[in-house]
Amino acid sequence: MFPTDRPRRLRTDGVRPLVSETALSASDLIAPVFVDATTDERVAIESMPGHERVPVSEAVDRVEEVLATGVEAVMVFGIPESKDEVGSRAYAEDGVVQRAVRDIAAETDAYVITDVCLCEYTDHGHCGVLEDEAADDPTLTVRNDETLELLSNTAVSHAEAGADMVAPSSMTDGMVGAIREGLDEAGFAEVPIMSYAVKYESAFYGPFRDAADGAPAFGDRRHYQMDPANRREALREARLDAEEGADVLMVKPGLPYLDIVRDVREHSDLPVAAYNVSGEYAMLHAAADRGWLDLEETAHESLLSMKRAGADLILTYFAEDIADRL
Ligand code: PBG
């Protein structure tokens, strides 16, 4: 008698759900939202179909739309009214994120997470304070230690506005420790930090940089974001951030880095987040537009795979569409 072992027995419609190993639910998802201080109207983001930059006056409406789908958490990104060398609108009390978060926290039940970075706020588009000669010398970019205080100030200003969680994304060494100290001193010991602990220098961020107007004016981010070739280094980044006080560790991007999601899951007891980034979203949309892929099926499969790899929570531009379907 051959075959004796028949896995197909467990694939009938009746039993498949019973033996399913992984489930995706709306409560795993975080929806990114873009708030733009330079506009009075919603502006469609061309490379991210279905997403818009909304004015501060519509931040609450935008979040209500997310909540209506069953997604309960949002990640707020800001596009400031002006930019300067040190990204001062990132930590201004009346900055775009601070104003939006104040409204969202007061008027909705959303769990509000904020992206803590300077790249949307600096006129050079890098994620921190620049070395003097950086524009002329490609080996120079961000001054690590001078950037820490600005990140900490940004995180504290978000917490003061009512953010439930802060998510530093600049890959500055020591950022989690500096932000933890800043939050604790300001009386926000209960505000958790989700660190973009393992963030690669990835070409998959292209559409986001259009959306948030955060592309570097010169050079790239390889001096602070991780080399896509590296795996052991990811564990080192994750361990350092955990030691500095991170509450959640994120791996970014998602789909091309599922091995890293699995590694971090196995080496840490903290919750692991995966960021299904803008390029992953744009890819599926572009293929679906041509009729080459089914958008909802491939989106669902992508997110399910992130959970299977070990992610507990997922940041995704598909959050609303998938939650609606679940
Ligand atoms: C800010 C930030 C970026 C993303 C999230 N936070 C851009 C970058 O690092 O270039 C990318 C998100 C995406 O592509 O969806 N530093």
Q: Given the CA of residue 275, which atom of ligand 1 is nearest to it?
A: 15
Average pLDDT, the chain: 95
Q: How confident is the model at residue 147 (pLDDT cuts 50, 70, 90)?
A: very high
Mean pLDDT along residues 279-307: 98
Residue 266 in marked binding region: no
Q: Determine the pLDDT at residue 18.
A: 97
pLDDT digit string, tens, across residues 7-45: 999 999 999 999 999 999 999 999 999 999 999 999 999
Q: Whose CA is nearest to atom 10 of ligand 1?
A: 205
For ligand 1, the distance from its centroid to the CA atom of residue 205, given in whole angstroms, is 6
pLDDT at residue 84 is higher than 90: yes
Q: Whose CA is nearest to atom 5 of ligand 1?
A: 169
pLDDT digit string, tens, across residues 161-189: 999 999 999 999 999 999 999 999 999 99
pLDDT at residue 133 is higher than 90: no
Q: How confident is the model at residue 222 (pLDDT cuts 50, 70, 90)?
A: confident
pLDDT at residue 220 is higher than 90: no
Q: Determine the pLDDT at residue 279.
A: 97
Is 252 one of the annotated active-site residues of the chain?
A: yes
Q: Determine the pLDDT at residue 146.
A: 94
Residue 325 in marked binding region: no
Q: Given the CA of residue 207, which atom of ligand 1 is nearest to it?
A: 14
Site to probe by mutation for ligand 1, drawn from 205, 210, 224, 284 as the one with most ligand atoms within 8 Å of Cβ, is: 205
ipTM of predicted assembly, 2 dp: 0.95
pLDDT at residue 138 is higher than 90: no
CATH level 2 (architecture), domain 25-325 = Alpha-Beta Barrel (3.20)
Residue 237 in marked binding region: yes
Q: Determine the pLDDT at residue 106.
A: 98
Task: List all residues whose CB is within 6 A of at least one atom of ligand 1.
Answer: 115, 117, 119, 127, 169-170, 205, 208-209, 214, 277-278
Site to probe by mutation for ligand 1, drawn from 77, 169, 196, 200 as the one with most ligand atoms within 8 Å of Cβ, is: 169
Q: Whose CA is nearest to atom 8 of ligand 1?
A: 205
Residue predicted with more confidence, 223 or 299:
299
Q: How confident is the model at residue 221 (pLDDT cuts 50, 70, 90)?
A: confident
Catalytic member of 199, 265, 285, 307: 199
Q: Determine the pLDDT at residue 215.
A: 81
pLDDT at residue 318 is higher than 90: yes
Is 83 one of the annotated active-site residues of the chain?
A: no
Residue 99 in marked binding region: no
Q: Determine the pLDDT at residue 136.
A: 77
Q: Please give the share of the chain, as a percent, with pLDDT higher than 90.
A: 88
pLDDT at residue 210 is higher than 90: no
Q: What is the pTM of this model?
A: 0.95
For ligand 1, the distance from its centroid to the CA atom of residue 243, given in whole angstroms, is 24
pLDDT at residue 193 is higher than 80: yes
Q: Please give the share of the chain, as a percent, with pLDDT higher than 70.
A: 99
Written in H, E and C, the secondary structure of the chain is: CCCCCCHHHHHCCCCHHHHCCCCCCHHHEEEEEEEECCCCCCEECCCCCCCEEECHHHHHHHHHHHHHCCCCEEEEEEECCCCECCCHHHCCCCCHHHHHHHHHHHHCCCEEEEEECCCCCECCCCCCEECCCCCCCCCCCEEHHHHHHHHHHHHHHHHHHCCCEEEECCCCCCHHHHHHHHHHHCCCCCCCEEEEEEEECCHHHHHHHHHCCCCCCCCCCCCCCECCCCCHHHHHHHHHHHHHCCCEEEEECCHHHHHHHHHHHHHCCCCEEEEECHHHHHHHHHHHHCCCCCHHHHHHHHHHHHHHHCCCEEEECCHHHHHHHC
Q: How confident is the model at residue 218 (pLDDT cuts 50, 70, 90)?
A: confident
Residue 278 in marked binding region: yes
